[in-house]
Amino acid sequence: MKTMARTIPVDIPGANYTVHLGSGLLPHVGTRLRKLTGNTGRIFVVTAPEIWSLWGNILLAGFPAGDPPQVLFLPSGEPYKRLASVETLATGLSASGADRSSLLIAFGGGIIGDVTGFLAAIYMRGIDYVQIPTTLLSQVDSSVGGKTGVNLSTGKNLIGSFHHPRAVFADTDVLHTLPERELRAGFYECIKAGIIRDPTLFSYMESHAQSILAADDAALSRVIAAAIRMKAEIVTLDERESGLRMILNYGHTLGHAIETVTNYRALLHGEAVGWGMLAATELSRMRGLLTQQQVDRICSVIHAYGPLPRFRATADKLFAATARDKKNRAGARRFILAESIGKAVIVPDVTDAELRAVIDWLLAHVREAAQ
């Protein structure tokens, strides 16, 4: 079995850790954890039942047979990314004797990672955790950077904290069991990485779509590694999203609004971001930041990794949902726009008229996609 091929450092004051990326990592995680974290306490895994049924035995292979980690289950889906789930898991930890020396393992997609990270941040005022992301989206995005949290009925990720993992293990083998739709959803975040910071990654995804969509191992690893390196660089420069890190939200303002107004049921997160990136690209064109040729390239690449599923929403509801975006400050609406392929900017003065115009454009585009 192949072993890890790449290590990507995330160097933040007080929170240095490494992303391990490659094939065949899962069976070795258990034997590496004590050395990596220095942890001597009990280990708990938070995962979804379907993830555990596919990969649980392989993960357990690296732990002593007489001392396996205890498993806590969280059902899949955005409806479970709520404070009630955190309380249920925390009660399970407490009832099982977890203390400040305990270690959590987030073994699943982005929801598992966000909830487990938030649980680790607040249980006994903070314990260690490790990320083992099992979706493409979580490998390239949510497992890196220390953002943790849960949703409210009024919006996505409105309660949370910054709490970095001690290590991330991104095993590309698990991606081969993902449904095609899940894989495509993750590629939109990789496209985003190219648009905002890495034109070489964008060009590679533009010219190698066929091999990437076929989940060719070499192509996948190249795309994932580039996306992780980009995010690690951004997080290192701006850990708390006071400035530069905001550009990671390209496509997320309307993407999160779409998720909110459709009750997190119509689209996967990456798909909502895909629609949001189309809207952000159009707004960039409206503002004169992008040429039509650049817009055409971006939209062509986004559609190449589709199709993006339709959704139903009204313009008024989408407009209202953007008011709760976390990037907003003192009532001013902030948008992340592109001024070239590979460079994003924070725009603090998007007007109501501009936002309504781009929402109308987006909804018309969704209707056209159904024809």
Which residues are catalytic, by number?
125, 147, 189, 231, 241, 245, 249, 252, 256, 269
DSSP 267: S
Retrieve residue 120's tokens.
């680790």
Cα pseudo-dihedral 91, 94, 100, 102, rounded to 10: -90
Indicate the helix (H) or strand (E) that contains 10. Answer: strand 4-10
- Tokens representing 154 are 């009024």
Which are the contacts of 174, defined by CB distance < 8 A and separation ≥ 6?
A: 26, 54, 55, 134
Whole-number Å distance between alpha carbons of 347 and 361: 19
Q: Tell whether omega for the bond before 27 is within 30 degrees of 0, i.e. cis.
A: no
How many whole angstroms separate alpha carbon 98 and alpha carbon 234? 34
Say whether 288 sits in a helix, a strand or coil.
coil
Tokens 């969704």 belong to which residue?
A: 366
Determine contact, residues 149/159, Cβ cutoff 8 Å. yes
Burial call 198-207: b when 16+ CB within 10 Å, e when fewer:
beebbebbbe
